[in-house]
Amino acid sequence: MPLNWKTGGLLLGLVFFAAVLLVKPIGVSTQFVILDGIIADAVNPELVTQTDEGYTSTNAYLAKSGGKYAKSVANPLNYSFVFVIAMMIGGFVSAMARGGIPREDRSVPALWRANFGGSPAKRYAAAFLGGFIVLYGARLAGGCTSGHMMSGMMQTALSGYIFAAGAFLAAIPVSMMMFKKEA
């Protein structure tokens, strides 16, 4: 069972506050680009190159804003990339400490099972498609639920409000159409 919303919300708020107090606001989706860059640069070392001023790339997206993404690709041991690795460690330890995810939920979550059956292949296909759309959208928007919605609205950023409006305007109808049966 999850924490009740008051304890959970307070803890989540404290983490977002700690991040901006000690370093900078939390964000995640950029790191998918950085990992793509690391993989692509391993295959083709011409992708990211060092210049007199820093780093650049043959890919226009990695090269934008003075090559800041190119720099992260060349130096993966940076704050934001390590942050996401640490999230995985924290998520793993927390899940193990509460006994792990129930076996049947590991491939097909309960609400999905109630609406679309227990086929893992179907669920995996939807998760893959959803992942593609989520990250394409997050990069177009310049951030995701963490960076735009939570960190952004917390800082009263106009962009955070625009993002949240778009996200819920699409997410609520899609979810209501897809998940009519209750788990």
Within 71-110, the residues that bind other proteins by CB under 8 A are 77-80, 82-95, 98, 100-101, 105-110
Question: How far is it, in rounded angstroms, from Cα 10 to Cα 160?
Answer: 20
Window 16-55: residues binding other proteins (CB under 8 A) = 16-26, 28-29, 31-33, 35-37, 39-40
Closest CA to 163 of 148, 176, 150, 151: 148
- Give the count of residues interacting with other proteins (CB under 8 A): 126
In this structure, the dihedral spanned by the alpha carbons of residues 43, 46, 48 and 53, taken in order and rounded to 10 degrees, is 160
Nearer to other proteins, 45 or 88 (CB): 88
Nearer to other proteins, 50 or 170 (CB): 170
Nearer to other proteins, 52 or 70 (CB): 70
Nearer to other proteins, 52 or 103 (CB): 103
Type of residue at 5: W
Rounded to the nearest whole angstrom, what is the least distance from the CB of residue 53 to other proteins in the complex?
Answer: 21
Q: Are 84 and 35 in contact (CB under 8 A)?
A: no
Question: How far is it, in rounded angstroms, from Cα 60 to Cα 44?
Answer: 16
Rounded to the nearest whole angstrom, what is the least distance from the CB of residue 43 to other proteins in the complex?
Answer: 12
- Please list the residues that pair with 57 across neighbouring strands: 48
Which residue has 């893992």 as its token pair? 120
Q: Are 129 and 11 in contact (CB under 8 A)?
A: no
Is residue 156 a contact residue for other proteins (CB under 8 A)?
A: yes
Which residue has 């939920």 as its token pair? 105
Nearer to other proteins, 49 or 78 (CB): 78
Site string for other proteins, 110-149 (x = CB under 8 A): xxx-------x--xxxxxxxxxxxxxxxxxxxxxxxxxx-
DSSP state of 56: E
Rounded to the nearest whole angstrom, what is the least distance from the CB of residue 49 to other proteins in the complex?
Answer: 16
**Binder of other proteins out of 50, 51, 118, 170 (CB under 8 A):** 170
